[in-house]
A and B are shown apart, each in its own frame.
Chain A
């Protein structure tokens, strides 16, 4: 079945620095790649997503890049702030999902932004 690998599992940065989280996926037919942020004890919230017909997407301090050939996509957070501290999950959806909308999640990255 489809698999999504996410790295690193933990990431610690100083406030103001950039953070990058990377994911690779196995199903070349995957066409939708969301990123979710989950604060402790709260719901996952979509922060940005990208579809396979786009190589990059930005939203203020957050950007996502997609390399379909290499089957990987990355989340970039610039000028990190303490409130960016959370667990981030990448996910992929594609043909292997059997047209059910099923998201295959990565294992998660715990980001800590030190003041």
Chain B
């Protein structure tokens, strides 16, 4: 009965080699968020979708892109990963913007070699 699923849980990539992280949800929520979390830090919002409407945070690097082909799935594409992009990437969902709880997925731990 997993609600927010992320795949893979661990991803190793090489410097500059594109990588795609996946998130899916069974909650039928309108909003999906992508966060980057580095060690001992709070989650940092990269962008979010309300349905198909995309909103990029002002300080999210162009290297990060996202796609949401349908309600259930959302992808994070890192076009040219750098060493500084190694982090935990968390997907979260909420029913609406002001509905309350954001449900987090288990995260994908990205390692860049």
Contacts and interface: CB of A to CB of B under 8 A. Distances in A.
Nearest to A9: B40
Nearest to A93: B98
B78 interface: no
Nearest to B4: A43
Interface residues of B, number: 25
Contacts, number: 54
A42 B107 CA distance: 7
A107 B99 CA distance: 24
Interface residues of A, number: 22
Contacts of A34: 100-102
Contacts of B99: 101
Interface of B: 31, 33, 40-43, 45, 48, 50, 55, 90, 94, 96-107, 109
Interface of A: 32, 34, 36, 41-46, 49, 89, 93, 99-103, 105-108, 110
